[in-house]
């Protein structure tokens, strides 16, 4: 079982036959209970903003993963535009919506 934090979700992360489940979560409220999640955040500025919001270190780590049914993926979906270069906090008018993604084996 691996817990991941990401800034994006792609169908390439799941097996061809999988049931994908998503639901919104209040990740900042539970972040410290996650232990040491594996960051797959692909942009340094986004990782810095996630770290500031969550209060835990989130590294810039541009990698590809393959989720399995015991894994948990938390996706921080940035809305409001692109982060300015060098951002370490959310600019005015921006928001991060946290989504929990899990999968089940499909038939």
* Full-model pTM: 0.91
E strands, 25-71, are: 38-39
Which pLDDT tens digit goes with each residue over 7-59?
999 999 999 999 999 999 998 888 888 888 999 999 999 999 999 999 999 99
* Dihedral angle sign, alpha carbons of residues 68, 4, 100, 46: negative
Q: Quote the pLDDT of residue 38.
A: 97
Beta strand 95-105 with 18-24 is antiparallel
Which pLDDT tens digit goes with each residue over 46-102?
999 999 999 999 999 999 999 999 999 999 999 888 888 888 888 899 999 999 999
Q: How far apart are CA 39 and CA 89, in angstroms?
A: 18
């Amino acid at each position: 079982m691996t817990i991941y934090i990401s800034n994006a979700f792609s169908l390439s992360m799941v097996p061809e036959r999988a049931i994908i489940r998503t639901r919104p979560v209040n990740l900042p409220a539970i972040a410290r209970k996650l232990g040491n999640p594996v960051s797959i955040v692909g942009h340094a500025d986004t990782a810095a903003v996630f770290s500031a919001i969550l209060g835990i270190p989130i590294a810039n780590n541009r990698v590809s993963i393959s989720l399995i049914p015991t894994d948990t993926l938390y996706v921080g979906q940035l809305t409001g535009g692109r982060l300015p270069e060098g951002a370490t906090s959310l600019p005015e008018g921006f928001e991060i919506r946290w989504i929990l993604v899990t999968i089940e084996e499909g038939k």
